[in-house]
């Protein structure tokens, strides 16, 4: 090992000399040759470290005799300092040459203590400029100082504390806990909805938020209605009554809010599921482990709502230590989507029965795409019907009404005691906008999230 390292160092030194001669002959290739010289310096440093590890620093001169090698002539144009006590080791007997070994660490104290004369001899022997050597040393220092930061994406999801929930818990936590213990049946439906909507708030903290907003709702709305009443001049009793009604509706709105989110999440998951099934089928076809299917889906940004359910599966496996089957069952029990529930339970049955998961996912993806096409076809047909209704009610009928009012206005008279001009103004500026807004809201509810 020692002989091979020494021989390699000699070869590197010879090559450096040849490269220096090439630089003088071909100055255009100087940059490329300097890169090669730098690489040779690195190899010399590696082999020199091997020699020092094998021989030892203190006993190097005692164990290995040295031979003096005449230094080449000094170039008059090279005015640079030189290194100190060089340590020499003999080559194997076959070559019968003496090799000058570079210190393994050019930035070490030993190298820094070299005298100017010794540094000059070192530079001349290698036929390199001192600036190149200094640049190499600085590069090595930067490599040692540079810290490689490895950013690892966690295989589980973390939730940050909700600022509003923190404030609510500070003032209302004890009252919320007493209410939950006293009336568990009242809060149980809301807690069940919490499991389906995946809200980043604890259920008990949410009850504290209900109490907090219910307490501050009455004074806030009372002040708001008093300010508005400056313009309308309504009786004070009515203002207090309106504020009280709104304050009572605030806790009810908070109570039913999770249930409304559950229906919205169900539509979004149903929208993403057909395409996610194609993705899952492709991953399963590659021979990946079942857990890898969910890891790849969690990394994708194409299924935002389905991604939340997938992260639940990974949390059960990576954080709580459940096996994949148990994790899939737990998520299937709380997901708001019946389609996803059926898929997860089917995957559990396939895996536990030793079936072909790839075939199962292929069949499910084909069925989901067929259902998706049928639903989109029904939706397009329904939109065609709605367009005909819109044309007849909100385009043709207003035109006929305007023509009729124009005729009545020409003849003279009123409609139910109201002038024709007022009827036309109300119809154009109030009736038509309200009808269009209502029709747009109807289309939005029918179209869903697609």
Give the separation between CA 159 and CA 58, rounded to whole angstroms: 59
Q: Is the pTM of this model over 0.85?
A: no
pLDDT 10s per residue in the chain (450 long)? Answer: 666 777 777 777 788 777 777 777 777 777 777 778 778 887 777 777 766 666 554 444 444 444 444 444 434 443 434 444 444 445 444 444 444 444 444 555 555 666 777 767 766 776 666 667 677 777 776 766 555 444 555 555 556 677 888 888 888 888 988 999 998 888 888 888 887 887 778 888 889 999 999 889 888 888 888 888 777 777 888 888 888 898 889 889 989 888 888 888 888 888 889 999 999 998 888 888 889 899 888 888 888 888 888 988 999 998 888 999 999 999 999 888 888 999 999 999 998 888 888 899 999 999 989 988 998 888 888 888 888 888 888 888 888 888 888 887 777 767 667 777 888 888 888 888 888 888 888 887 776 555
Helix (H) or strand (E) holding 88: strand 87-90
Give the separation between CA 58 and CA 40, rounded to whole angstroms: 26
Residue among 284, 297, 291 at smallest CA distance from 318: 291
- Length of the chain, please? 450
128 token code pair: 């390199």
88 token code pair: 């020499």
22 token code pair: 């090439």
Under 8 Å between Cβ of 84 and 119 = yes
234 token code pair: 């309504």
What's the confidence (pLDDT) of residue 446? Answer: 72
Give the separation between CA 177 and CA 293, rounded to whole angstroms: 40
Give the separation between CA 330 and CA 324, rounded to whole angstroms: 10
The DSSP 8-state label assigned to residue 63 in this structure reads: H
Under 8 Å between Cβ of 126 and 16 = yes
Give the separation between CA 432 and CA 435, rounded to whole angstroms: 5
Helices (H), 26-146: 30-55, 60-63, 109-112, 116-126, 130-145
């Amino acid at each position: 090992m020692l002989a091979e390292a020494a021989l390699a160092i000699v070869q590197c030194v010879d090559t450096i000399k040849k490269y220096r001669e090439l630089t003088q002959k071909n100055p255009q290739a100087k940059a490329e040759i300097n890169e090669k010289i730098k690489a040779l310096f690195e190899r010399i440093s590696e082999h020199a470290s091997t020699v020092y590890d094998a021989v030892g620093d203190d006993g190097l001169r005692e164990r290995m005799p040295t031979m003096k090698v005449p230094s080449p002539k000094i170039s008059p144009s090279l005015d640079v300092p030189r290194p100190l006590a060089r340590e020499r080791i003999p080559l194997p007997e076959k070559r019968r040459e003496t090799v000058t070994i570079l210190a393994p660490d050019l930035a070490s104290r030993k190298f820094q203590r070299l005298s100017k004369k010794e540094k000059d001899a070192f530079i001349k022997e290698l036929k390199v400029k001192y600036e190149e050597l200094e640049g190499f040393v600085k590069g090595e220092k930067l490599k040692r100082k540079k810290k490689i930061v490895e950013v690892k994406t966690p295989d589980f999801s973390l939730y940050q504390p909700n600022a509003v929930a923190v404030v609510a818990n500070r003032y209302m936590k004890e009252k919320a806990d007493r209410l939950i213990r006293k009336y568990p049946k009242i809060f149980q439906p809301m807690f069940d909805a919490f499991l389906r909507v995946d809200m980043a708030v604890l259920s008990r903290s949410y009850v504290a938020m209900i109490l907090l907003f219910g307490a501050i709702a009455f004074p806030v709305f009372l002040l708001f209605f008093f300010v508005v009443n400056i313009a309308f001049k309504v009786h004070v009793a009515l203002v207090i009554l309106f504020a009280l009604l709104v304050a009572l509706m605030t806790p009810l709105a908070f109570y039913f809010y999770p249930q409304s989110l559950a229906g919205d999440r169900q539509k979004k998951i149903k929208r993403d599921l057909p395409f996610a099934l194609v993705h899952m089928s492709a991953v399963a076809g590659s021979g990946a482990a079942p857990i890898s299917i969910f890891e790849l889906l969690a990394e994708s940004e194409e299924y935002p709502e389905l991604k939340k359910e997938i992260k639940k599966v990974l949390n059960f496996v990576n954080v709580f230590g459940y096996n994949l089957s148990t994790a899939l069952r737990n998520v299937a029990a709380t997901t708001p989507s019946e389609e996803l529930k059926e898929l997860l339970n089917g995957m559990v049955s396939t895996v536990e029965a030793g079936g072909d998961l790839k075939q199962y996912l292929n069949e499910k993806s084909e069925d989901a795409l067929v259902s998706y096409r049928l639903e989109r076809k029904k939706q397009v047909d329904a939109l065609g019907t709605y367009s005909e209704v819109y044309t007849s009610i909100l385009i043709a009928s207003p035109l006929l009404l305007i023509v009729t009012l124009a005729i009545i206005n020409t003849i003279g008279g009123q409609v139910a005691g109201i002038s024709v001009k007022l009827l036309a103004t109300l119809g154009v500026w109030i009736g038509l906008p309200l009808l269009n807004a209502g029709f747009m809201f109807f289309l939005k509810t029918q179209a869903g999230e697609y």
